[in-house]
Amino acid sequence: AQSVTQLDSHVSVSEGTPVLLRCNYSSSYSPSLFWYVQHPNKGLQLLLKYTSAATLVKGINGFEAEFKKSETSFHLTKPSAHMSDAAEYFCVVSDLASSASKIIFGSGTRLSIRP
Amino acid sequence: DADVTQTPRNRITKTGKRIMLECSQTKGHDRMYWYRQDPGLGLRLIYYSFDVKDINKGEISDGYSVSRQAQAKFSLSLESAIPNQTALYFCATSDSGRDRASQGTDTQYFGPGTRLTVL
């Protein structure tokens, strides 16, 4: 069965410091993994995705994530936080290629940026 | 994303009323999805459709129904609304690549959301 766990419901960092949002997944197949961002009162926007190519995935706005199969993790990082990064972030595991056809969203991590 | 539109954007209704939420897309994608978002629970899949003749139940389909009127349109209905259906509802699309004989992607493109309140 598929599942995704975002380990922190809220992360607060100072502007200019690194960001780490943690995500662990469970899948019986070879899933696709995504990070989406949702700014207040907005829809979701794709940040980046992993689809069995390079394990280090670069996304928009300076974010990147590393797929670690041994740790079943797909943590999102950014070297230096900006005020505009304040938003909710969702880790998603998707396996539409299998008969299970599952898309599972994590519960979200709210990122706050301190001036 | 203006390529995926949802109507209405906000709706307040009463218990027992029938409600329809509509989604349209101009992206030419074959797959469409309906989700609800509740605080602390992320997004949960209600129904999804891989083409006009294909409708599938998601994680939380009870109390909901859908209709895929055309490739570009996917509507969600609450036959008899109840207060615990108060939530933010999102429509999304993705491209399987089937029409171009190429590998598609699971990337989803979301509409702006519909905030539904059931009193």
pLDDT of residue B94: 87
Q: Which of A46, A96, A107 is the closest to B41 by Cβ? A: A107
* B40 and A CB contact within 8 Å: yes
Cα Rg, chain B, nearest whole Å: 14
Cα of B96 to nearest chain A Cα, Å: 9
DSSP string, B8-45: -SEEEE-TT--EEEEEEE-S--SEEEEEEEETTTEEEE
Mutate to test the interface with B, among A44, A90, A94, A110 (most CBs of B within 10 A): A44
Q: For chain A, give the number of residues.
A: 115
pLDDT of residue A48 exceeding 80: yes
**What mean pLDDT is predicted for residues A97-112?**
78
Distance, CA of B57 to CA of B45 (rounded, Å): 8
Query: What is the arithmetic mean of pLDDT over B7-35?
Result: 95
Lowest mean pLDDT, pick from A49-53, B84-88, B110-114: A49-53
Distances (CA, A) of B107 to A73, B8, B43, B119: 19, 24, 15, 35
| Residue of B13, B7, B23 whose CA lies nearest to B85 | B13
- Chain A residues close to B42, C-beta within 8 Å: 90, 105-108
d(CA B29, CA B110): 12
pLDDT > 50? residue B101? no
Tell me the nearest-neighbour CA distance from B80 into chain A, angstroms: 26
What distance in Å separates the CA atoms of residue B25 and residue B36, rounded to the nearest whole number? Answer: 18
Position A69 pLDDT exceeds 90: no
Give the SS3 label for residue A84. Answer: helix
B60-65 mean pLDDT = 95
Most confident of A66-70, B17-21, B104-108: B17-21
Residue A100 has pLDDT above 50, yes or no: no
Q: Does A14 touch chain B (CB under 8 A)?
A: no
Q: Is the model's pLDDT at A74 over the cut of 70?
A: yes
pLDDT in tens, A4-17: 999 999 999 999 99
Tokens (6 digits) for B58? 């998601």
Mean pLDDT of B9-15: 96
Task: State whether residue B99 is helix, strand or coil.
Answer: helix
Average pLDDT for B49-76: 93
Alpha carbons B5 and B113: distance in angstroms, whole number? 8
